[in-house]
Amino acid sequence: MIDIKFLRENPEIVKENIKKKFQMHKVELVDEVIEFDKKARELTVKGDELRQSRNSLSKEIGKKIAEEKKEEAEQIKEKVNTINQELAENEELENQYREKVKNIMMKIPNMMHESVPIGKDDSENVEVQKYGEPIVPDYEIPYHAEIMESLSGLDLDSARRVAGNGFYYLMGDIAQLHSAIITYARDFMIDKGFTYCIPPFMIRSDVVTGVMSFEEMDAMMYKIEGEDLYLIGTSEHSMIGKFKGQILKKEELPYTMTSYSPCFRKEKGAHGIEERGVYRIHQFEKQEMIVVCEPNTSYDWYNKMWQYTVELFRSLEIPVRTLECCSGDLADLKAKSVDVEAWSPRQQKYFEVGSCSNLTDAQSRRLGIRVKGEKENYFPHTLNNTVVAPPRMLIAFLENHYNKDGSVDIPEVLWKYMGGKKKLENR
């Protein structure tokens, strides 16, 4: 959510930002919110005038009573009662307009960073840099589900019977590898100075609407029937929600946290061959990182955060590249975002394994997170980034370490997390 004062003073800039995101249906919201905001402020002024009149008349009542002019005092009381009634109606109408302003402001996209490339959708995202040499071996690499099944590590049929499509059983060495990667990612981020956290896996609706747009909420979140609770789609939701309604101490910034959680998402996405495996699923686990910081340091943190993900994947000997997300691919709250994609030697292309975003003060405004300043309080910036998200990471891992004989090599950094195993083999 952007600053209403900025919108009042720069309506055309806000409209242009919306147009660059190719959300033409939202352009008219700017004029609507300006009109409702104007009416609300007019009612605020009227309310102040009514209160001032009431206070003056109340003083007169005391004087009339002291002068034993009861009839005049009663007449003034009637005027005060009339003002009270008018004030109540004024406040109710003002609250209605304030609520309209809030609801519309929640739909207007955050202001993008000036460096964001303009494009309609993710097909127009811009490659920034490649890390590691993408290799295509001289032997065939099976589909990732087949690799897992050959190692007795995946059971999709049982999962369908138990929970339906979009779920899975990981077993044996593959399940251990999954946990090893998560644990390694946790320690990797702790070594970077981040505080480890296991957050709530369910959050209330006021947190959901604070961390994401209504469109994202409808597309992603599972609601708990009969409760004001939603299963998280990523631990970033509850991690940022931790600071909801708080006034933070300037000297304690930045907050740098890394979290483990299961994640639950309704949308499976496009249909196709990749749907047969574990690429698009309803449930997965993830190691996440978030930062709450001073506004003037957020882009420094942004660059550090996505580089941590690149560094982690390279330590696992997986080639990756970074893509700058174009304007049409930015979610409403994001000011700038970069995707990290891993190399798939089987498909001979890169695919997304993580995303780093700077949301500037959009989330902190929606959640009421402020920093205590010397003269006045202000909103901090929030950022989030995927450290690693198995089992999608497993696809890149297995394909890039698959050998001609069907075995899978384990990079040295994981040996201690795998009980000393250096290779996975079909027994």
Q: Is residue 117 part of a domain?
A: no
Model confidence over 70-122: pLDDT tens digits? 888 888 888 989 999 999 999 999 999 999 999 999 999 999 999 999 999 99
Please tell me whether residues 266 and 154 are part of one structural domain. yes
59 with 184, same domain?
Answer: no
Residue 112 lies in a domain: no
In this structure, the answer to whether residues 196 and 243 fall within a common structural domain is: yes
Residues 191 and 83 in one domain: no
Q: Whole-structure pTM over 0.85, yes or no?
A: yes
- Domain range for 404 is 122-424
* Number of domains present in the structure of the chain: 2
What pLDDT is recorded for position 267?
64
Whether residue 195 sits in one domain with residue 87: no
With a pLDDT cut of 70, the percent of the chain lying above it is 98
Same domain as 341, residue 272: yes
150/79 same-domain check: no
Q: Do both 230 and 87 map to the same domain?
A: no
Q: What is the mean pLDDT of the chain?
A: 93
> Is 241 in the same domain as 342?
yes
Identify whether 281 is part of a domain. yes
Kindly report the CATH number assigned to the domain that includes residue 279. Answer: 3.30.930.10
Q: For residue 116, tell me if it sits in a domain.
A: no
Specify if 162 maps to a domain.
Answer: yes
Can you read off the two tokens belonging to residue 173?
């060495």
Q: Could you say which of 71, 105, 139 is where a domain stops?
A: 105
Q: Is 37 exposed, middle or buried (0-12, 13-18, 19+ CB in 10 A)?
A: buried
Task: Read off the pLDDT band of 60 (50, 70, 90).
Answer: confident
Digit-coded pLDDT (tens) for 233-277: 999 999 999 999 999 999 999 999 999 999 999 864 544 434 578
* Domain boundary residue, one of 56, 71, 105: 105
Q: Are residues 141 and 75 in the same domain?
A: no
For residues 150-161, average pLDDT: 94
Per-residue pLDDT of 111-148, as tens digits, reads 999 999 999 999 999 999 999 999 999 999 999 999 99
Residue 409, domain member (yes or no): yes
Confidence at residue 275, expressed as pLDDT on a 0 to 100 scale: 56
